[in-house]
Structure 1
């Protein structure tokens, strides 16, 4: 009789993994053949984007523009980057209407942002703001950067949602897409603050989706994406490009409330379904230590050759600190 316990447990794990696999295949392989998200309903309303000047946030904005959305409000702390993205969209889509609003999600006064958004007909929201630091560190070893992560990724991202929900509901509802992370699924040592903020956003989004009848909220929990934050410049077996990721992620709107965003990452997430966390945590930690070693080598090469990291990696590295994470939301 006791032997049945591990057999039943293994069967349960296989059952979870199998149906997660079927769901991934349906959403990212089968559904695209006959299904397209209904984005036309948002064409004449404003799409508000936080963190849309780099990485996934920028690629997601470009994908929405490619699919017909033309009215964007871009919110970020770097005026030059905001203007650059605005110009890029306008050059590709001459009929686009772009507004920009300079705002720091770590230290800004949210009452100003709330007032700015309050009179806008908000139909679509992309919340991809985030920040971090260079190295894997214990919580408390670098309190200033821990605090910044908690402010921007946690309170800042959450407060931004609070700002857009009321005007969106007043205008008849809409679609919200929030960039969380696979690191918010389980606690990861050396990334305590980052994981905590991503878990916060995942739970917050699921609650908001149930609270507002006219607002649909989708949470994205990606793994590795090739961006400045992860120091990858191209896709590979486990790393996807922002453009590929966002093309698949946008296509999943209306099919699922929470997803890794692309087939590659959904297949990687099968490990969370099959392995118990007591085992899986020992399997995935070497990935993070490898990433820390890899970035350390890049920094050493920069110091020895006196070559900026942008020349080594093929793209510019922002001077503000960034977390080595498995997704790429940037402030």
Structure 2
């Protein structure tokens, strides 16, 4: 009998303790859901302000806000070329930098003829390292550069870190890391002197979430993202705006064989469409995807566990070949 009473007493204590723990966990869960809800609401409001407000409010022209000349690296194709064309459409003169002289001439002449702005180009292969920068510095010495767009990149196709050749590692470092860093070092003194200017560093979504078998490439984009944020903090008091532009999938030559381009084309804008939206965020957001659909994707990805994100990435971004 005493044993039964002891058991009942123990049962009541355990039940009371469990009930107390459930109440505590309920409060914690409610607080977490409320916090997540408020954060999502804030992100939605920010998304609206970033992508809708610029369409409703007439802004100061980019030439008055930053200057008459823009420099774009990686300007012969993809996002770089489209961004240069969009800046020209806004009335800026552009200087194109790339490694292929023939392509640079074609793009330069096309922009000048279409948008009636001044254009020039500098042939520079960033893979060659330090030797390419003195000619660039000399060519830009007397130009009042208002906007610098660092779009040049070396794209590493999925490989394990142990399989990446040493030459490819140096190309990733020279193009994805060193080029943007040195170009900023070249143009910033003039911007500081004029107390205005803008720098756009084109990163990649892999700088925010893990990318399967692309450790080296992703790490280089993490550097560029962090570099942009630190520069913004340092240069904003001097009147210079710095943006980390983080596109998701864009329909370039490098993505034509990727499943998502064909399965979900509304998620993959043409470079021209992407650039038109991205330029609208210039001076508005220091860190953005640049495109409203990508911003929604990016927001949704915050709720997805890393393992699921990697699985979806492998499924959608695998080749059709």
Q: TM-score range by the shorter chain?
A: 0.7 to 0.9
State the alpha-carbon separation in 2 of the partners of residues 83 and 231 from structure 1: 25
TM-score, structure 1 as length reference: 0.81
* 2:295 is equivalent to residue 266 of structure 1: yes
Corresponding residue for residue 148 of structure 1: 171
- Once residues 162 and 179 of structure 2 are traced to their aligned partners in structure 1, the CA distance between those partners, rounded to angstroms, is 20
| Structure 1 pair 292–249 and aligned structure 2 pair: CA distance change class (3 A) | closer
Separation in structure 2 between the aligned mates of residue 52 and residue 120 of structure 1, nearest angstrom: 18
Separation in 2 of the partners of 1:37 and 1:183? 33
1:23 equivalenced with 2:52 (yes/no): no
Structure label with greater radius of gyration: 2
- Pick which of 59-68 and 153-162 moved more: 153-162
Q: Which residue of the partner structure matches residue 243 of structure 1?
A: 272
Q: Hey, what's the Cα distance between the residues in 2 that align with 1:203 and 1:293?
A: 28
Give the unaligned 5+ runs of structure 1. Answer: 298-331
Report the secondary structure of 1:163's partner residue: helix
Q: Counterpart in 1 of 2:140?
A: 117
- Tell me whether 217-226 or 17-26 shows the greater mean CA deviation: 17-26
Conserved? CA contact 1:184–1:198, under 8 Å? yes
Corresponding position: 1:48 with 2:71: yes
The structure carrying a bigger helix percent of its residues is 2
Q: Compare 139-148 and 201-210 and name the one that shifted more.
A: 139-148
| Residues 107 and 28 (structure 1), Cα distance of their counterparts in 2 relative to 1, 3 Å cut | same
1:186 aligns with 2:209: yes
CA distance in 2, matches of 1:141, 1:217: 35
Across the aligned residues of Structure 1 and Structure 2, the Cα RMSD in angstroms comes to 2.1
Q: Distance in 2 between matches of 1:176 and 1:42?
A: 13
Higher relative contact order (CA 8 A, sep 6+): 1
2:110 equivalent in structure 1: 88
Query: How far apart, CA to CA, are the structure 1 residues paired with 2:163 and 2:317?
Result: 16
Which of 122, 131, 138 matches 1:101?
A: 122
CA distance in 2, matches of 1:287, 1:246: 26
Contact 1:47 1:125 in 2 (8 A): yes
Hey, what does 2:98 align to over in structure 1?
Answer: 76
3-state SS of 1:229 partner: helix
TM-score (norm 2): 0.83
234-243 vs 152-161, which deviates more? 234-243
Q: 1:214 pairs with 227, 230, 239, which one? A: 239
Q: Secondary structure at the match of 1:3?
A: helix
**Deviation at 1:272?**
4.0
Structure 1 contact 225–241 (Cα < 8 Å) conserved = yes
Do the aligned partners of 2:91 and 2:115 also contact (CA within 8 Å) in 1?
Answer: no
Shift of 1:59: 0.6
- Give the structure 1 partner of residue 83 of structure 2: 60
* Contact kept? 2:67, 2:197, Cα under 8 Å: no
Gaps of at least 5 residues in structure 2 are 1-23
- Contact 2:66–2:147 (CA under 8 A) maintained in structure 1: no
* Paired residues, number: 289
Q: Distance in 2 between matches of 1:249 and 1:165?
A: 22
Deviation at 1:78, TM superposition (A): 0.6
* Structure 1 residues 169-197: Cα deviation after superposition (integer angstroms, max 9, x where no partner): 23332111221111111332311111111
